[in-house]
């Protein structure tokens, strides 16, 4: 029984060590995508807040006020 458990643990460790680098790559990729998304959102917000609105939009906003 003990030998069977040892063999199972050895096999489990082999499988985990095989897939661990893949998990690290996926995690790094996900973190990079999250950071890129945040940078993109900040960029869109910055462009939106510094770009003057067209004259028609201002008139509609004033009329609805």
- 14-61 tens-digit pLDDT: 888 888 888 888 899 999 999 999 999 999 888 888 877 666 555 555
Task: Sketch the domain layout of the chain as residue ranges.
Answer: 2-64
Backbone angles phi, psi at 61, to 5 degrees: -65, -40
The predicted structure's pLDDT at residue 64: 54
Tokens 């993109």 correspond to 40
Its pTM stands at 0.51
């Amino acid at each position: 029984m003990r030998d069977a458990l040892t063999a199972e643990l050895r096999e489990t460790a082999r499988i985990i060590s095989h897939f661990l680098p893949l998990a690290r790559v996926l995690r790094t990729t996900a973190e990079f995508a999250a950071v890129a998304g945040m940078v993109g959102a900040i960029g869109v917000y910055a462009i939106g807040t510094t770009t003057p609105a067209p004259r028609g939009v201002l008139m509609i906003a004033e009329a609805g006020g």
